[in-house]
């Protein structure tokens, strides 16, 4: 996420390295680079200019009052300003109505239908809601089908009237259906066009007026940079929406949309989409995003993701197995699957402070997991539960079966061995001693 911007800002802060104090001259040089980095990331020109002006005022002002190094001080000020620019506080979605009505708006291809599904899934699993999805696209039958596919995936009912060509009527009928059947959230997915046009705007404005949603969300593809900001403005002028959803932040986005959109429409970014799967949705936290932009990682999100996957029952079972020396390859596979559920490796590495920068030239993908899985899947159940029986002959068979080299099988066996030893140690006295050493 935003690798290029992170890199350029880091270089800008380097200018201050070795300087004992922030001066008019070195701050000007640094901020010139900061501004260039923002413009390269497709941040709106005026926003970038105002941003650096504010940073400069603060930097000169705070200069004498702090014991921080100039470079550190600058990073701190830029971080605070970035957080502010992206909205300051986190904003939730308004679920006050019964049912709460959420209207989705945005251009075709922005990720509206995908996000409608993600949001329904999020509200169902994280907030114990009973959502109803509504297909209101009266032009593209494929769009209605797409929502049905999504609904099936997440186990959420989808309301549609394929023969009806009146979007307002469909939305109203859907709300009646929701009330009669105990749904407490209604998410209305509307038709999009490839570009902003009058007919589309009128239609969604009519739906908006008729159903009076508690929450109108504008969905935008973050890859479209400045265009994203212009589209947001056009939609906001008509709908006065409540919040923004930035999709496709997992891609090669430059970051401009995330940084500019709030100050142009004065509406908060509420969620981000980070992948095509139904669980690739995150609440947007301006401060965490600022940390990530500055290459400072996002440990809080990383821990939260780990916690979301943590299953106490499973953990207890695993502990018992380790204690009894019964940890096998099936458990190993299980652990890998847990990690995979937390997100793509690239995404996870980006959340570790400093790791993104240190590994920026390393190609990170999830293939390594695939190979390990293939090798384990080529083992017999007996081999998996009792790895000590795996001799050279068995290794050869496993390598052949999985299409990997024997060296890779050896390497995996070694890693497995080390991991088992380490886990055993953490359970026994060594773990306790380690805790003592750390003052625990």
Binding site for ligand GDP (CB under 6 A): 106, 108-114, 192, 247-248, 250-251, 273-276, 280
- Closest distance between ligand GDP and the C-beta of residue 174, in Å? 17
- Closest distance between ligand GDP and the C-beta of residue 156, in Å? 15
Q: In what order do the strands lie in the sheet with 269-273?
A: 158-159, 131-136, 185-190, 100-105, 215-221, 243-247, 269-273, 281-283
Q: Was 106 annotated as part of a binding site? A: yes
- Closest distance between ligand GDP and the C-beta of residue 143, in Å? 7
Q: Identify the H or E element spanning 282.
A: strand 281-283
281 neighbors 273 (Cβ within 8 angstroms): yes
Q: Was 23 annotated as part of a binding site? A: no
Q: Was 50 annotated as part of a binding site? A: no
Q: Was 317 annotated as part of a binding site? A: no
Instruction: Indicate the pairing of strand 100-105 with strand 269-273.
Output: unpaired
Q: Was 357 annotated as part of a binding site? A: no
Q: Residue 220's beta-bridge partner residues?
A: 246
Nearest residue to ligand GDP, using CB? 273
294 neighbors 78 (Cβ within 8 angstroms): yes
Cβ proximity to ligand GDP, 112 vs 270, nearer residue: 112
Phi, psi dihedral angles at 357 (to 5 degrees):
-70, -45
Cβ proximity to ligand GDP, 16 vs 200, nearer residue: 200
Cβ proximity to ligand GDP, 4 vs 26, nearer residue: 4
Distance CA 192, CA 170 (A): 16
Q: Was 110 annotated as part of a binding site? A: yes
- Closest distance between ligand GDP and the C-beta of residue 119, in Å? 12
Cβ proximity to ligand GDP, 80 vs 279, nearer residue: 279
Instruction: Indicate the pairing of strand 215-221 with strand 269-273.
Output: unpaired
Cα 198 to its chain centre, rounded Å, is 33
Cβ proximity to ligand GDP, 87 vs 273, nearer residue: 273
- Closest distance between ligand GDP and the C-beta of residue 223, in Å? 9
Annotated binding site: 106-113, 189-193, 247-250
Annotated binding site for GTP: 106-113, 189-193, 247-250
């Amino acid at each position: 996420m935003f690798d290029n911007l992170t890199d350029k800002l880091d270089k800008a802060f380097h200018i201050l390295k070795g300087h004992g104090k922030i001066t008019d001259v070195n701050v000007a040089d640094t901020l010139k680079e900061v501004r260039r980095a923002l413009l390269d990331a497709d941040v709106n020109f005026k926003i970038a200019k105002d941003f650096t002006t504010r940073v400069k005022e603060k930097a000169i002002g705070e200069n004498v009052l702090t014991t921080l190094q100039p470079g550190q001080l600058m990073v701190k000020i830029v971080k605070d300003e970035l957080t502010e620019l992206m909205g300051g506080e986190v904003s939730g979605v308004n679920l006050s109505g019964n049912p709460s009505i959420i209207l989705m708006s945005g251009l075709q291809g922005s990720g509206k239908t995908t996000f409608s599904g993600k949001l329904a899934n999020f509200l169902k699993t994280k907030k114990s809601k009973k959502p109803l999805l509504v297909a209101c696209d009266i032009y593209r039958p494929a769009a209605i089908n797409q929502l049905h596919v999504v609904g099936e995936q997440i186990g959420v009912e989808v309301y549609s009237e394929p023969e009806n060509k009146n979007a307002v009527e469909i939305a109203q009928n859907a709300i009646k259906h929701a009330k009669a059947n105990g749904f407490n959230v209604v998410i209305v997915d509307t038709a999009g066009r490839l570009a902003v046009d009058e007919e589309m705007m009128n239609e969604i404005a009519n739906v908006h007026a008729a159903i009076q949603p508690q929450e109108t969300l504008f969905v935008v593809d973050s890859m479209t940079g400045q265009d994203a900001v212009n589209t947001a403005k056009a939609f906001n002028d008509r709908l006065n929406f409540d919040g923004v959803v930035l999709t496709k932040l997992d891609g090669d986005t430059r970051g401009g949309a995330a940084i500019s959109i709030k100050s142009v429409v004065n509406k908060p970014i509420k969620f981000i989409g980070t992948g095509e799967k139904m669980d690739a949705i995150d609440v947007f936290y301006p401060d965490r995003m600022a940390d990530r932009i500055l290459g400072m990682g996002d440990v809080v999100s990383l821990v939260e993701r780990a916690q979301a996957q943590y299953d106490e029952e499973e953990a207890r079972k695993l502990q018992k197995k380790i204690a009894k020396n019964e940890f096998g390859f099936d458990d190993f596979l299980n652990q890998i699957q847990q990690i995979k559920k937390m997100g793509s490796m690239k995404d996870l590495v980006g959340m570790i402070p400093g790791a993104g920068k240190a590994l920026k030239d390393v190609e990170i993908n999830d293939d390594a997991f695939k190979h390990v899985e293939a090798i384990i899947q080529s083992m017999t159940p007996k081999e998996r539960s009792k790895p000590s029986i795996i001799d050279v002959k068995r290794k050869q068979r496993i390598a052949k079966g999985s299409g990997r080299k024997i060296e890779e099988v050896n390497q995996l066996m070694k890693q497995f061995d080390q991991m088992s030893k380490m886990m055993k140690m953490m359970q026994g006295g060594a773990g306790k001693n380690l805790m003592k050493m750390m003052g625990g």
